[in-house]
Structure 1
Amino acid sequence: MRRNRDKTKALLEELVNRLFAEEQTVRPASPGDAYLMGADGRYLGKITPDSSDPDALTNPYGRHGSRYSPYSIFNPTSPYGSKEGEFSIHNPHTTTPPELYLQGKPAGRVTANKKLPDAIDTEIFLSRLETANPQIC
């Protein structure tokens, strides 16, 4: 029985990875957009209160707002959302957290690492996102 459950889990993880596997290094079309970009060059989503936008961090069903997407800051097992992830906003030791862009220009790095000079505190960032759209986080 355990073996079947392990196979099912592996199959589901593979399906989720395939579902969200589109290359996401493309920057937003509008230069006025606010967005997150991983230190590895992966586009992590747009910052907008419009939770129906497929690229929005506030869309819990989209590739950037889903708790199951491997490219989401809300996935506790992803490199961008786990406490140990190299590119994670939650890792207090990372030196490579995501960069916040405002109007196409870097505005700081969203991170739990308070030692980085251009750090934007993760909790404050998430609080502001939640204020804009209470159904996330």
Structure 2
Amino acid sequence: MDADIARILRETRTVAIVGASANRARPVYDVWRYLERASDYELYLVNPTITEVDGTPTYPNLSALPVVPDLVDVFRRQEFLRDVLDDAVRVGAKTLWLQSGLWDPAIARDGEAAGLQVVMDRCLKVEHARLLSVS
């Protein structure tokens, strides 16, 4: 599994962070700031209820992004995973990444059947730091 995740992280160029928040106490904010600092990824924040986070624009959904994201990093409650999966498939994303605490075998099955790589219950920040950081 580590080899697969490391490959995904190396091949990723664009990341959409779904469920972005301007609240600095939320894990999504920390992950975004880490990725800004420690990766070369182009990052896009997605949240239909806010227009920006610290001056960075947010987008209402994946189809509003100016690019097709390679990886969709999901910080949404369980009941919204199906909608995010459908959006990720619709826009042609390559990977659906469900953050720590998110696990749904039906979403994984349907995502993989649609051609997506699916990672569940893992923190993108933690895995990036663990597998790609240079010591």
TM range (shorter): under 0.3
Report which of the two structures shows the higher radius of gyration computed on alpha carbons: 1
User: More relative contact order in 1 or in 2 (CA 8 Å, sep 6+)?
Assistant: 2
- What's the TM-score once normalised by structure 1's chain length? 0.27
Task: Specify which structure has the higher proportion of helix.
Answer: 2
